[in-house]
């Protein structure tokens, strides 16, 4: 167990374990059909049209982060989560990292539901793109030269991953939504040891923009406007 759960990175370890458990449950429940649209949907995937028709399905905006479509999709995202999650958890601390992951993933799935409402979507990439965006934005926020350099190096990774988003069966909307959320949240959650450098006005402004976008899109999704 000690090789599976790393106490230095508790949230990253738990996210990996939970996502793996969901993937295995899909295989156990659906067998060879575990990567079909029906399996993804019944395991918690997001479909905008379903949420529009039934607001009680809003929980899918969060659960879809833990559902994957096929082995390749699952393995690629878990490898990325392993390395990127540990880095982010080091930078922000466990609680802030969990908030960044879930809030980015949720915003990404809101974008999916709004801009591709007839598509069944799932995957941790919405949250992972949020982490990419957060780390990429740090070069404009932090004082540490090391973190600034690290942040700058992630810019190329973001561009490469966005290019891959144009490939078939990959949700560009989800990736962009997660990325937007991640950049905004970089101004909300300070890096460890740099809280005193974070301007309060930036935190409030970024929080309001994030919440404004979230509620605006949710309002449209639920036909409240």
CA 44 to each of CA 90, 95, 123, 137: distance values in angstroms, whole numbers, following the listed order: 30, 24, 10, 31
68 a catalytic residue: no
Catalytic residue among 13, 43, 125, 171: 125
Helix, strand, coil tally for the chain in percent (to 5): 75, 0, 25
Q: Quick: pLDDT tens for 160-176.
A: 766 665 555 677 899 99
In sequence order, the 6+-apart residues with CB closer than 8 A to the CB of 184 are 206, 209, 210, 213
- pLDDT tens per residue across span 171-192: 789 999 999 999 999 999 999 9
Task: Report whether 161 contacts 182 (CB < 8 A).
Answer: no
Closest CA to 24 of 71, 94, 79, 78: 71
pLDDT band at 1 (very low <50, low <70, confident <90, very high): very low
Q: Quote the tokens at residue 18.
A: 């939970």
Least Cα distance to 46 among 34, 57, 54, 55 occurs for: 57
- To the question of domain 10-221 being in CATH 3.10.20.30, the answer is no
CB 70 within 8 A of CB 35: yes
Long-range contacts of 18-24 (CB under 8 A, 24+ apart): 18/66, 19/66, 19/68, 19/74, 19/77, 19/78, 19/81, 19/124, 20/78, 22/66, 22/67, 22/68, 23/67, 23/68, 23/74
Which residue among 13, 73, 104, 175 is the active-site one? 175
Q: What is the pLDDT of residues 65-121, one digit of tens each?
A: 999 999 999 999 999 999 999 999 999 999 999 999 999 999 999 999 999 999 999
Q: Answer yes or no: 125 catalytic.
A: yes
Residue boundaries of the structural domains of the chain: 10-221
Please compute Rg for the chain using Cα positions: 17
What is the number of alpha carbons within 13 Å of residue 189 lying toward its C-beta? Answer: 28
Identify which of 1-5, 14-18, 69-73, 145-149 has the greatest average pLDDT: 14-18
């Amino acid at each position: 167990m000690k090789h599976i759960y790393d106490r230095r990175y508790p949230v990253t370890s738990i996210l990996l374990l939970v996502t793996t458990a969901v993937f295995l449950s899909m295989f156990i429940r659906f067998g060879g059909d575990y990567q079909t649209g029906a399996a993804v949907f019944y395991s918690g995937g997001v479909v905008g049209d379903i949420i529009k028709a039934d607001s009680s399905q809003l929980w899918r905006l969060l659960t879809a982060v833990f559902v994957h479509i096929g082995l390749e999709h699952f393995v690629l995202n878990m490898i990325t989560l392993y390395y990127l999650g540990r880095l982010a958890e080091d930078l922000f601390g466990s609680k802030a990292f969990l908030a960044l992951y879930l809030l980015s993933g949720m915003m990404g799935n809101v974008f999916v539901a709004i801009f591709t409402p007839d598509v069944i979507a799932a995957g941790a990439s919405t949250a992972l793109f949020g982490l990419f965006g957060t780390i990429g934005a740090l070069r404009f926020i932090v004082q540490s030269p090391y973190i600034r350099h690290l942040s700058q190096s992630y810019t190329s990774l973001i561009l490469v991953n966005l290019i891959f988003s144009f490939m078939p069966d990959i949700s560009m909307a989800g990736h962009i939504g997660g990325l937007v959320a991640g950049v905004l949240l970089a101004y909300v959650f300070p890096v460890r040891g740099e809280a005193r450098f974070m301007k309060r006005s930036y935190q409030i402004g970024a929080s309001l923009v994030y919440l404004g976008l979230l509620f605006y899109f949710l309002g449209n999704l639920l036909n409240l406007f």
